[in-house]
Amino acid sequence: MEYKITTHNEMETIELAQNFESEKFPNMVICLNGELGSGKTMFTKGIANALGINEVITSPTFTIIKEYDGELPLYHMDVYRLDGNVDGIGLEEYYTKGGVVVIEWADTIKDYLPKERLDIKFVVAGENKRILILTPYGKQYEELCEAVL
């Protein structure tokens, strides 16, 4: 099943992310895809804020993975520069560390993603308007979407 939601500004994107955080669970994996500037990092800021993380959230483009301490740990990844090669970064370990994993540009590492996860595609539909297409994989993620949307 696929869900679509439209946000009309950055605040609505952040609020949507906060709603997902309210239904969080350990080892939650959210995979974000979309063109540059489509709202992936903004969504992650919303999750971080709701987890009680007060640090400035930026895309970890050069560090690949940033770890933040909050109500649950947040593992924020930007895998764009990996060109599909995840060797040596311990990616799969993060899936079971008990935190929330958010992966930007996740479509570049599809073969290394967990079977159960939530994929969110960001589509630019105007200067500030975004269409988010959510695809849950697994019962827990289907229930998450039902609870939030």
Q: What are the tens digits of pLDDT across the range 86-127?
A: 888 889 999 999 999 999 999 999 999 999 999 999 999 999
Q: Is 18 in contact with 148 (CB distance < 8 Å)?
A: no
CATH code of the domain in which 87 resides: 3.40.50.300
**Structural domain containing residue 126:** 3-148
The H-or-E segment that residue 100 falls in is strand 100-104
Domain count, the chain: 1
The pLDDT tens digits of the residues spanning 12-69 come to 999 999 998 889 999 999 999 999 999 999 999 999 999 999 999 988 877 899 999 9
Q: What is the pTM of this model?
A: 0.95
User: Both tokens of residue 100?
Assistant: 């929330």
